[in-house]
Amino acid sequence: MRLTFLFLFLPLSIFAQPTQRYVITAPAGSEYTKIDKAGRTVLPNGRFITPRGRQIQTAPHPYGLVLSPDGKSVVTANSGINPFSISILRNVVGPNPSVQQIPEGVKTDNGILEACFMGLAITPDGKNVYVAGGETNKIFAFDLATGKPAGTINCSVKTATSDFSHGYIGDMVMTRDGKTLYAVDQIGFRMLVIDVATKKILHNVPTGRYPFGITLSPDEKVAYVANVGVFEYKTFTNLDRKNLKTTAHDYPASKYGSKEMREGDAAKGVPALGDPNAPEAFSVWSFSLAGTPGVTAKIKTGFLVGQMVEDFPAVGGSSPNSVVATDQYVFVSNGNNDCVSVIDVKTNAVVKNIALTPDARLGKLRGVIPFGLALSPDSKRLYVAEAGINAVGVIDVPTLAVVGHIPTGWFPSKLKVSIDNTKLIVANAKGYGSGPNGGRTFKLGAQGSYIGNLMNGTVSVIDIPGDVNLKAETEQVVQNNFTIRPVADVKPTSNPIPAFLSRNAASPIKHIVFIAKENRTYDEVFGQMPNGENDSTLARYGVGVTVKSKRGNQTVEKASVMPNHLALARRFAMSDNFYCDSDVSADGHRWLVNTYPNEWVETGTAAAYGGKRSMRDSSNAPGNLSFYGSAGSIYPEDYNEGGSMWDHLERWKKDFFNFGFGVEMAGAYSDSTMKYIGEKYTINYPLPAPLFDRSSRTFPTYNMAVPDQFRADVFMKEFKEKWLRSDGSVGKDTLPPVITLMIPNDHGTNPRPKAGFPFTESYMADNDLALGRTVEFLSQTPYWKNMAIFVVEDDPQGGVDHVDAHRSLMLAISPYVKRNYVGHVHYSFGSVFKTFWNILGIPCLNQYDAGATDMSDLFTDQPDFTPYRALPADVRLFDPQKALDPFDEKFDWKAFSESEELDRTETMQKRRAEDDAEAREKAGKKRKTKRSR
C-alpha cells in the first residue's frame, strides 16, 4: 500500500503583522471579576462572556460531548480534576431539560466511573452511551435512560509483539449500525477497532504520536486520526534505577531544535527525539477500514515547526486536534495556528488553511485556540469551537470562508448541531468561571472551596443565527474580548510605561526583575490592607493573626506571618484587581512564561491532577511520558506558534537570565544532596532553546525541602559574580534587561519542626523573608535606579478569596511606582507581559498580552530611589538560621513528595474544618475522661 507524505506550504498573507495603529486593552476596565448569568460575566482575564442561548450547568470541564441519534439527549464527559463524571442532559432542545450526573456525588466513584476523558458514543437505538475511561484503559457503558452501568470494555491487551497493558482512552466514534467502535489510545499510539456486541478488540492499529481526535468518512470506509503529540519521550539510557542519585542528569540534556535533541548523544545516555516535523508528529493520518485497517496517508496540517510565518519561524507545531469529514473534505482544527486545515479526500492534500481571527486589527497574533468541530446535517456549514475567544466560528463549506462568530461561555470545547439544523449545542469547559471561594458571604458546599471543583461547565443551546445577524454577533465577540482604539486616540504621557510602541517613546526602566511564587490568593495575604477590596476574615497570612499547628498542639498568638509583603505593598504599589489566568500549577507554569495553554494543556491538566496522573514509573506505553503533571516547565506539545517569552526576547534581541523558571521537569529525582538545582533529571525533555544557555546551574528550582533563604543566598551570590564588582559597582557584564526568579515556598507543605518549619505558615514566613531580602539587595545595587520588580503567583489554588478564586497577588516595586498605592484596574498575566514589552519597546506576543491592559496606572514619573529594608521573620514561626543549618549535612527531604498532595487538597475551609473537628474530638475525650473519673 502506497503511503503519501504531504507537506504543503500555503500563502500566509492572511496572518500579516498589524502595524502599530491600534492600542488594545481588556474590556473590563476597572470592573472586578464577577459572574452575572443574566447579563455580562467578567472573566479573570478581563474579558466578558455573553453566552447566547440557554445555559445548562454540568460538572467541571466538559471536554467531550455527544448528541443522541434522536436529537433529544446530550451527554458530556467531564474531566474535572475531581471527580470524573458524565452528565446526561435529557430533552436538551425542549422547554424543560433535565440533568443527571454520574456519579451523583462530588467524588469519583470507582465502582461506577473511575475516570473519563473526552470520548463518547451513543448506540443507534439510543439505549447506551459508551464513555472513554482515560487512564483506566477501559471503556464504560451506561444505560442512557436510567444512567445505570451497562458493562465495560477492557482495552488492556498484551500480545507477542505489543503490550497495551496501560492505555489512556480518549476520543471515540461509532459506526451508524452500532456494530463497531473506533477509539484512540493516547499513550498507546493506537487506534482501537472494537466489536460492540462481543466487547472484543478486533484490531490495534498504530497511529502517530498522541492521537487526540478521530472521525469517519461519510461512507465509513476511512478513519481519520489527528495526532497532537511531537515526540516519543524516553528516559536516559545510562540511568540506574537503584542509584538515581549518581546516574540521573544534573541538567536537562538538550535544547529544543538542537542536534542533541534530534540525534541524541549515546555517550552521555541521551536518546534521540528526532524531527518535530516527522510524519508521526502534528499530523492527520487516514486509515482504510476495508479488511485489516491500515494507514494510507500521513498529512501535515497547519504550519510546520520552523516554517516562516511572515517574519519569524514558527516555534510550535500546528496542534491538530479535532477532525470531521464530508464526501469532499476533511476539516482539521489546528489549535496553535488559529486555523482550520482543509484536506481534499481524493488527493489527501491540504488545499486551504482557513484563518479564524475575528478581527483584522489583530493581525497575526494567535490565541483563538480552535478545538471542537461540527458539521451541519447538510454539510453546508462547519462550526468551530474557538476556545480562546469564547466563541463559535461559522464557516461556509462551499466557499471555505468564515462568515461570522457567535458568543459562547468560557472555553468552548466540543459542539454539535441539532438534527433539524436549527440549534448549536456547545460544551463550555469553564462555564461561567469559579466565582469566590471564601469570605463572609460565601457558603461552603459539598464541592468545597478548591478552585478545580468550582469551575462548573455549561452546555449552551443556541438558536443558529441567520447570516444577516452574524455581523452583529461577530462584533459582540470582538467587544467581549478586546477594546481596540486607534493610536491617535491615545494621548502620550510621561508615564514610565509607554502606552504603545513608538520610536519616540523610551522608558527610564531598563531592567525588569520578574519574581514568581506559588499558589496564593489576594485575601489570604492582603485581606487586611486598607484601600483595597478586602475580606480581613480570610487574611490568615497577615499580621496579628493566630497560628495553630496542624495537630492543634501548638499556638502562636498575634503572629506576623508575611510582614515584608505588607510592607512592600505599603511602600510601593499593588493591585487588588489582579487575577491568575491559571487554575492550578499545571497550566500556571505555562502562563508564567507567556505560553497560553492550548487544548492539549487544558485537557491534560485534568489528566495530570486526577487519579494516577502519570504511569511513567510502571508503564511501557510509548506515550506514557507525555503526562507532565504540575512540573514547572513547558514542553514541545505546549509551544505556541510564536513560542514563549524566552523565544520572544531572543527574537527581539533582548537578553535575559533565569533563576529557576521553567527548568523543573516531570519525572525528576530529588534527595538530600541536591541543595543546588533542587532536582536531577531522568527523561530527555528538551528545554526551550533560548532558556538552555541562560539559566543558573546552581539555583534550586521548586523543591519544598529547600528554604527560600537558600535560594535568596544563591541568587545574590550569582548576581554579584555576574553583574557587580567587589566594590558594588556595575560589573564588566551589565545586568540583562530581564531577570526571572522563582521563590516558591509559599506553596506550603506539611510542617517539619526539626527542619525549622513548625507550621504550614512557616513556609509563608520563609518565602516572605526571602522576598524582602531579595528586594533589599536589588534596591542597594546601582541598577536600582532603572529597575522594576514584578511579583506574582503561578496560580491561586492554595487559597481562598471573596471576589474570585483566581484573584491573586501582584506587587510592583520600583523607584518609578506610586507610593502606598492600591490600583483597581483589572489585570491578568497578560498585563504583566504587556507591561514588559512596552518597557522594552517590542511588540506583543499573542492575543492574551495584546488584549490585556498594561500596568501604567501603578507607575509615576516622579521617582523615589530610597532602598528598601527587609523586615525580620517572626521567629516563633520561622527561624531562618535553623532552616539553613542542615544544608551542610542531612536534611528532611520528605517535604518534596508531600507538597504535591497540598496542590490538590489544601484549602482554608478544609483546614478550618479539620481543626474544628479535631478540637471537638479532643474536647469530647476530655469530657469523657472527666466523667469516668
Distance CA 701, CA 718 (A): 15
Handedness of CA 164, 167, 171, 173 (dihedral sign): positive
Residue 56 corresponds to which cell in the numbers above? 445548562
Task: Give the chain's end-to-end CA distance (angstroms, integer).
Answer: 88
Q: 312 near 294, Cβ under 8 Å?
A: no
Distance CA 690, CA 685 (A): 15
Distance CA 423, CA 417 (A): 6
Residue 582 corresponds to which cell in the numbers above? 491559571
Beta partners for 757?
Answer: 752
Distance CA 765, CA 771 (A): 10
Distance CA 622, CA 230 (A): 12
DSSP string, 194-263: EETTTTEEEEEEE-SSSEEEEEE-TTSSEEEEEE-------B-TT--GGGHHHHSBSS-S-BTTSHHHHH
Handedness of CA 837, 843, 848, 851 (dihedral sign): positive
Give the β-pairing of 810-813 and 573-575.
antiparallel
- The string of pLDDT tens digits covering residues 172-211 is 999 999 999 999 999 999 999 999 999 999 999 999 999 9
Residue 216 corresponds to which cell in the numbers above? 469517519
List CB contacts of 864: < 8 A, sequence separation 6 or more: 815, 819
List CB contacts of 271: < 8 A, sequence separation 6 or more: 234, 235, 236, 237, 264, 684
List CB contacts of 630: < 8 A, sequence separation 6 or more: 584, 585, 586, 589, 608, 609, 900, 903
Residue 581, phi then psi, degrees to nearest 5: -70, -20
The candidate with the shortest Cα–Cα distance to 361, out of 450, 445, 483, is: 483
Using DSSP's 3-state secondary structure scheme, residue 855 falls into coil
pLDDT of residue 673: 60
pLDDT of residue 618: 66
Distance CA 340, CA 124 (A): 29
Residue 600, phi then psi, degrees to nearest 5: -65, -45
The candidate with the shortest Cα–Cα distance to 261, out of 247, 250, 271, is: 271
Q: Buried (b) or exposed (e) across 752-790, using 16+ Cβ within 10 A?
A: beebbbbbbbbbbbbbbbbbbbbbbbbbebebbbbbbbb
Distance CA 760, CA 518 (A): 14
Q: 342 near 301, Cβ under 8 Å?
A: no
Question: In Å, how far are 152, 235, 263, 381 from 247, measured between CA atoms?
Answer: 42, 12, 21, 56
Name all domains of the chain by residue range, CATH numbers in brackets.
4-234+273-485 (2.130.10.10), 491-596+641-664+701-914 (3.40.720.10)
User: What is the amino acid identity at position 660?
Assistant: G
| Burial tier of 442 (Cβ tally within 10 Å: 0-12, 13-18, 19+) | middle
Residue 577 corresponds to which cell in the numbers above? 484587581
Give the β-pairing of 157-158 and 410-417.
unpaired
Residue 752 corresponds to which cell in the numbers above? 517539619
pLDDT of residue 276: 97
Q: 64 near 88, Cβ under 8 Å?
A: no
Residue 761 corresponds to which cell in the numbers above? 505558615
- The string of pLDDT tens digits covering residues 29-38 is 999 999 999 9
Distance CA 136, CA 570 (A): 51
Number of residues that this document lists for the chain? 933
Q: 267 near 236, Cβ under 8 Å?
A: no
Residue 498, phi then psi, degrees to nearest 5: -60, 145
pLDDT of residue 895: 45
Question: In Å, how far are 25, 238, 672 from 509, measured between CA atoms?
Answer: 22, 47, 40
Helix axes 708-723, 760-779, angle to 10 degrees: 20
DSSP H or E run through 911? helix 908-932
Q: What is the largest CA-CA distance in the chain?
A: 90
Pick out the chain residues at pLDDT < 50: 1-19, 611-616, 889-910, 912-933
Q: Is the peptide bond before 103 cis (omega within 30 degrees of 0)?
A: yes
For residue 564, give the DSSP letter. H
How many other C-beta atoms can be found within 10 angstroms of the C-beta atom of residue 858? 28
Would the pTM count as exceeding 0.75?
yes
Distance CA 491, CA 488 (A): 7
SS3 readout for 369-425: CEEEEEECCCCCEEEEEECCCCEEEEEECCCCEEEEEEECCEEEEEEEECCCCCEEE
